[in-house]
Amino acid sequence: MNLGAHVTVAAALGADPWVHLGSALPDIATIGGFRMLPGSGSGKVGDGIALHHATDEAFHSHAWFLERQKNVFDHLTDQGVRRGAARASAHVGVELLLDGELFGGNRSEARAGAVNAALLLAGTDPGLGQLVPTEMRPDWLLHLGQLHRWRPPTYFADPAAVAVQMKRILERRPRLAMTQDEVPKVEKALAAVQPSIVETAEAFLGELTELLQRSSP
């Protein structure tokens, strides 16, 4: 799952915006190229970071995700896409299409509001600098102060936009990178799986939330 979806799950589980922020921080760090210190984070922010990892574990092992990932992977390998690129595209593509659906429906305004409220907090607490190594802290705090620029990823409802974005994401990793000729094949595979994501996204989100509620201490 990605930043916005993590906050959406956190908001469904509780109203504390500091928990919401914590749930997004690992992705915020990845986006900016920062490394969070293992075990860093305390209080509500620490609770949110722990929720992020629990959510990722539940999401990536859930049949909903695994089935759709496999469908895209099989489609791509049948079309001759290399296995590394096919696997990465299937994994990331399903996540991004889910983002596009969660932030493109009739609940998108409330969800975007929760994300923005959480991200605005990031620039108000210098103590968040403790989450990363000392040498990274000035740039990290600057990065956190820019999060007000976040916008809902509605463009990820378009398989073509997702395919282009994935090419950019993966191009620095030679074993996973797509060739230009593979981009339309990825778009076609994502377009084929998208209806099942649109039809089931809200039910899946509810099921994932209930699963996390049952497993929380």
Give the pLDDT confidence of 169-217 residue by residue, as tens digits: 899 899 999 999 999 999 999 999 999 999 999 999 999 999 999 987 6
Q: What's the whole-number mean pLDDT along residues 42-59?
A: 97
Global pTM?
0.94
User: pLDDT-derived band of residue 91, with 50, 70 and 90 as boundaries?
Assistant: very high
Cα 22 from Cα 34, distance rounded (Å): 15
Cα 87 from Cα 187, distance rounded (Å): 14
Burial annotation 101-120 (CB, 10 A radius, 16+ → b, else e):
bbbbeeebeebbebbeebbe
Residue 196 neighbours by CB distance under 10 Å:
15
For the chain, the residue count is 217
Q: Which residue has the tokens 């896409």?
A: 81
| Predicted local distance difference test score (pLDDT) of residue 35 | 96
Is 46 a residue whose pLDDT tops 70?
yes
- The domain ranges of the chain are 3-206
| Predicted local distance difference test score (pLDDT) of residue 217 | 66
Is 128 a residue whose pLDDT tops 70?
yes
Residue 2 neighbours by CB distance under 10 Å:
18
* Distance (Å) of CA 142 to CA 16, 25, 47, 66, 214: 24, 14, 23, 37, 37
